[in-house]
Amino acid sequence: MAAEKDWRPKLVLASASPRRLALLQQIGLEPDELLPSDVDESPLKGERPKALARRLAREKAERALTVTRTRDDLQGAFIVAADTVVARGSRILPKPEHLEEAAQCLRLLSGRGHRVYTGLCVVTPKGGFRERLVETRVSFKHLSRNDIEAYLASGEWRGKAGGYAVQGRAAAFVTKLVGSYSSVVGLPLYEASALLAGEGYPVQMSWLNSI
């Protein structure tokens, strides 16, 4: 295992998200470094949800690339960056840090469908950018007052796009999901694997081919 790590290219995850790290590890990819980017995630005036997801993923990748170029141990590294946006129509929902903000998100999503957009950006060792946008449709059941209060008490909503984490207790709210589950969690695994493999990173192709 050590020998394999010695010869393969370095892999950087431009995120401090434990969810994105766990998703990569789930398919056998272990980043050599985590380089979270401190970017302003506020939408620009008139910016649509898809454009926001694309822009933030690209900005995170660019920030990480700037850092890798200053470090000898990360020269020629692959970089994976992503950003997830939850939207009701053209309305972008926040990543709440306050209880009432999270409650407003849940009330808005209750009994309705919404879209989850994840922008993905992979930087190659030569500095090329490979980008994808993954769209997933999600529908929630009607949430009772007790549902909302119990979920808010769990604290899972904090910092999550749309105020919920589908991999946690909010899984019980989902009546339908069309698209990529891993993208809703925070990183579309099929697309990330395909982009890395297409640029020569040693991804287990047997995993890709089984999809």
Is-catalytic flag, 83? Answer: yes
Nearest Cα residue to 190 out of 34, 49, 24? 24
d(CA 76, CA 79): 9
Distance of alpha carbon 104 from alpha carbon 158, whole angstroms: 13
78-92: string of b/e by CB count within 10 Å (b at 16+)?
A: bbbbbbbbbbbeeeb
Tell me the CB-side half-sphere exposure of residue 5, using CA atoms within 13 A: 8
Known catalytic residues are: 83
